[in-house]
Each structure stands twice: as structure tokens, then as C-alpha cells.
Amino acid sequence: MKRTLAALAMMLGATSVVTGQSAEQKTQDSPQERLRALGAIEAPGSVPVFYVAAAKERALRLQSSLEAAHAWYEKQLNMKVPILLAVADTTMWDKVQDLYAWMYYPPRPGPKLVVIRDQAQANAPRDADRDHAKGGILNNEHVLFHDDGHILTDAANIRIGNKSVEELIAQAFMVMYLRSERSDLNFVIDGFRVTPPPNPLRYTSMADFDYLDRTPSLTAPNAFWFLRQMGAVVDTLSKGRSFSSVIESLRKAFSTPARHELPDEIKARLESVWPGFSKLAGPLFGPSAISRVSPSGCQESAPTNDWADVVIQNETTNPMTVERPNKSRVTIPERSWTTFTIRVGASINLLNGTCLVGREEPILSVIRRQ
């Protein structure tokens, strides 16, 4: 199975949030310097925009939109967070793929960068107007507000270790801004409730969204389904509440250092932010659809060229250490989980005489005693 470096960016409609440079990158150029070196045209503003020449009109209109949204967020949060926008063609998009990430620890100085494609070819809700329809000049405009939410979540010291919650909170940023300031885009939120799910719909729990993040097992249509469900839930539960009150509740619920939390812990935290979340969330808090397996005796087998996803969930009260096929060791904290990508037929050694063998379908092993 082929793995892409920007799988989630594509799932979110060909946008990405860039917050710094990868550890592997040797140069220390800023995002602005990188974009200038790639030939981007720059337009100043409260949110400076860098764009390819062919996308000038789209870039300037999206810049104006993001400036208004970002100013609203900053006012609600009582903080200043500098950001940049880039409208990139395929070449430029590929040249900044090493920057695709949302958070860096320790945080890197300087403005954070939101990137969106120059081609307005993302699918749109059925009631979208001409500008926002597929091919329209403002197609996918709303995703800028979601991506800005990722940046501001970090700036607001909301610490999250689970991808599903990161996406849910970014959806909350977007939904609450649209409801407050952009009623012209209500078709986006309304579309959450009327768009049919993909067929087949393989995974429906937030736990699976976490376990399979950035793997081919979680297809783009399935990931979009998760985002729509999350948006609909937070829209319903946030009615009558101020944006600042929701963010403050999120700060309190997610104030500890980020780690991969177990599904029951996530459920309790989100319930404290939005009472009634568990009931309304439905399948989002359902059981994992990943096949559960128990460790078995370690046997030599010939790995194939295909990739396998092996999730180990440590529900004990002590860290556990496992060994990858290359003999490197990884410690899984207590009450946490880790997803391993190995070859089909290769094994994760639990160092107690048992192993987990990679299969063609993802597997989940829950360890409750050592």
C-alpha cells in the first residue's frame, strides 16, 4: 500500500496548515523565504498572502476572507497570532510538503502558514453558490477557517494527543465562526447533515480515526464522513454558547501534556466540554471496527511488500516496551496506545514470548495485564 506524505491534507480538501520546518530539513529559511524562493508573488496585509501568478484573484479574495476570520478569532480569544496564507500550484505544493504539520514542540518562532491549492476543484455541498461550487473562485473557502483553528488551538494552549479531537476542535472553530459571522456559508454546515455517507463506510468511531490516522486504511471519503459528523455534533451542542466559553472549556479539559488517550478518557473530556456529546455523537463513540487479536507465540515468517497497521493499546498502569521488526524498541505509556506500520507477515515482539503479526487488514490488540 502506497503511503502519501500529505494524506490528511488531501482529505481536508487540498489544504494544509504549516507551522514550521521538518526536523530533517537542513536549511533554516522561514516560510516567507521559502515561498519567495519558489517564485511566489506576495501581497501584504494583516494576513500576508503568497500566490502563483495564475491564482491572483482567488488568492486576494481568500486573503480578505481569512483576514476577517482571523481577526474575529483573535478578538474572541484576546490574543494576537501572526499567520500567513499561500495559494499554491502543484509544483509549489510539492516543494513545501516537508512543512506539513500542525504543531511543533518546542514551538517555533514566527508566523504560521496556511496553504490552499490554486485550483478550485474540491467537491462542494449541493447548495453551494456559484463562487463556492467546484471550480468557483472561492471554492473551499471554509476550510481556511478550519485550518486556522488548528493554529489557534495550539496558541490557546489546548493540548491534544488524539487526531480525532484535533479535527473536532478545528471543526468547532469553523462552525462557530460561520454561524456567528458568515450566514452566507450556512450551506456548509447544513451539508453535514444531508450528505450521504460513503458506501461502504468502513470506520465510524473516533478511536479508529485516531488509530488509522495517515494510513491508507482510512480512505478520504471515510475521513470526510468523520469531519461532517463532528461538525454537525458541535454545531448542535454549541448553540446558545459563546465561542470564548467553548474555548475556555476546551482549555480546562485538555490542559495536560498531549498523549494518545484511550477512547473512554476522550469521551469523558468531551462530555465535560459539551454535555450530551456522548449521546449525540452516536457511532463516533461506538466500538472500534478494527479486528481485535491477542498476541500469540513468536514465529518466523517471510514479510511481504505490503504494509500492515498494528495498534497496541496499553490499558495497564505501567509503560510497556515492544520491539519492532528492525529490533528497535518503543515504549507505550500506561493508558495509551501506539500504531505501528510494518510489513505484512512481520512481527511486533512484546518481549514476553508473544508477538503480533501484521495482516492485510489493520489489527488492534488491547493489553490489560503484563
- The per-residue DSSP string of 113-129 comes to EEEEESS--S---TT--
In the predicted structure, residue 104 carries a pLDDT above the cut 50: no
Binning pLDDT at 50, 70 and 90, where does residue 14 land?
very low
Task: Give residue 53's pLDDT.
Answer: 96
> Do residues 230 and 184 touch, judged by C-beta distance below 8 A?
no
Residues of the chain with pLDDT > 90: what percent?
76
Task: Give residue 178's pLDDT.
Answer: 97
Residue 21: phi and psi, rounded to 5, are: -110, 150
pTM across the whole model: 0.89
Alpha-carbon dihedral sign for residues 231, 45, 155, 35: positive
> Do residues 366 and 307 touch, judged by C-beta distance below 8 A?
no
What pLDDT, in 10s, does the model give residues 52-101? Answer: 999 999 999 999 999 999 999 999 999 999 999 999 999 998 888 766 54
Order of all β-strands in the sheet with 41-43: 15-18, 112-117, 83-88, 49-51, 41-43
Task: Give residue 108's pLDDT.
Answer: 57
Task: Give residue 218's pLDDT.
Answer: 93
Is residue 39 classed as helix, strand or coil in its secondary structure?
A: coil
Identity of the amino acid at 332: I
Alpha carbon distance 264, 309 (integer Å): 22
Work out the average pLDDT over 292-311.
92
Task: Give residue 22's pLDDT.
Answer: 39
Work out the average pLDDT over 4-33.
48
Identity of the amino acid at 47: V
> In terms of DSSP H, where are the helices of 55-127?
56-77, 90-95
Work out the average pLDDT over 2-9.
33
Task: Give residue 370's pLDDT.
Answer: 65
What pLDDT, in 10s, does the model give residues 310-359? Answer: 999 999 999 999 999 999 999 999 999 999 999 999 999 999 999 999 99
Alpha carbon distance 1, 22 (integer Å): 24
Alpha carbon distance 226, 203 (integer Å): 9
Task: Give residue 368's pLDDT.
Answer: 93
Is residue 110 classed as helix, strand or coil in its secondary structure?
A: coil
> Do residues 83 and 46 touch, judged by C-beta distance below 8 A?
no
Alpha carbon distance 361, 132 (integer Å): 38
> Do residues 40 and 120 touch, judged by C-beta distance below 8 A?
no
Work out the average pLDDT over 141-157.
93
In the predicted structure, residue 226 carries a pLDDT above the cut 60: yes
What pLDDT, in 10s, does the model give residues 150-197? Answer: 999 989 989 889 999 999 999 999 999 999 999 999 999 999 998 889
Task: Give residue 256's pLDDT.
Answer: 85
Distances (CA, A) of 266 to 1, 33, 174: 30, 39, 21
Alpha carbon distance 58, 81 (integer Å): 24
Tell me whether residue 255 is exposed, middle or buried, using C-beta atoms within 10 angstroms of its C-beta: 0 to 12, 13 to 18, 19 or more: exposed
Order of all β-strands in the sheet with 354-357: 296-297, 354-357, 347-349, 320-323, 329-332
Task: Give residue 332's pLDDT.
Answer: 97
Alpha carbon distance 233, 322 (integer Å): 37
Work out the average pLDDT over 22-46.
78
Residues of the chain with pLDDT > 70: what percent?
89
Task: Give residue 99's pLDDT.
Answer: 62
> Which helix (H) or strand (E) covers residue 232, if one does?
helix 220-238
What is the pLDDT of the chain when averaged over all its residues? 88
Distances (CA, A) of 42 to 52, 93, 97: 9, 16, 20
> Do residues 232 and 280 touch, judged by C-beta distance below 8 A?
no
Work out the average pLDDT over 272-286.
94
